[in-house]
Amino acid sequence: MSDTATFTTAAQLLGAVAGRYGLIAPGFRSPPRVVGVQRTIRRRQGGGVVAVAVKGRPLAGVLADMIEGIVVLNDLSLVESCTLRTALWEEVEQLLQSSATPVAFSRAISAPQRVA
């Protein structure tokens, strides 16, 4: 994930889904304050902050850490967490698809295609 705007958009989308489920929508920030980790969670009264490393990581890994942060912060049961994960992934799936398009497009241009 190279775009801060994508991280911000993901945070807004994920927070909105958490709110629709009546859950705590954490604040998101990057990078974590602890050196060498990819995700930290700080609980606060009435909420919390999920800090995720973004630089040099694939978008799918960043989104997975953001989603798990919401699940952990809300201390959900197994069934609740599965339902929420599905809803959260559905919400950000478009971000994954749009981030993959430029890579596929640039490969298609750089590799000559043979025509029969």
pLDDT bucket at 98, cuts 50 / 70 / 90: confident
CA distance 5 to 7: 5
What are the domain boundaries of the chain? 4-102
CA distance 116 to 103: 26
pLDDT bucket at 96, cuts 50 / 70 / 90: confident
* CB of 69 closer than 8 Å to CB of 41: yes
pLDDT at residue 100 in the model = 62
CA atoms within 13 A on the CB side of 64: 6
Token pair, residue 43, equals 């609980």
* CB of 17 closer than 8 Å to CB of 63: no
pTM above 0.75, yes or no: yes
Q: Where are the alpha helices (DSSP H) in 1-116?
A: 4-20, 59-74, 78-110
* CB of 87 closer than 8 Å to CB of 21: yes
What share of the chain has pLDDT > 90, as a percent?
72
Per-residue pLDDT of 16-64, as tens digits, reads: 999 999 999 999 999 999 999 999 999 999 899 999 999 989 999 999 9
The one-letter amino acid code at 26 reads P
Q: Rounded to 10 degrees, what is the CA torsion of 70, 74, 75, 80?
A: -80
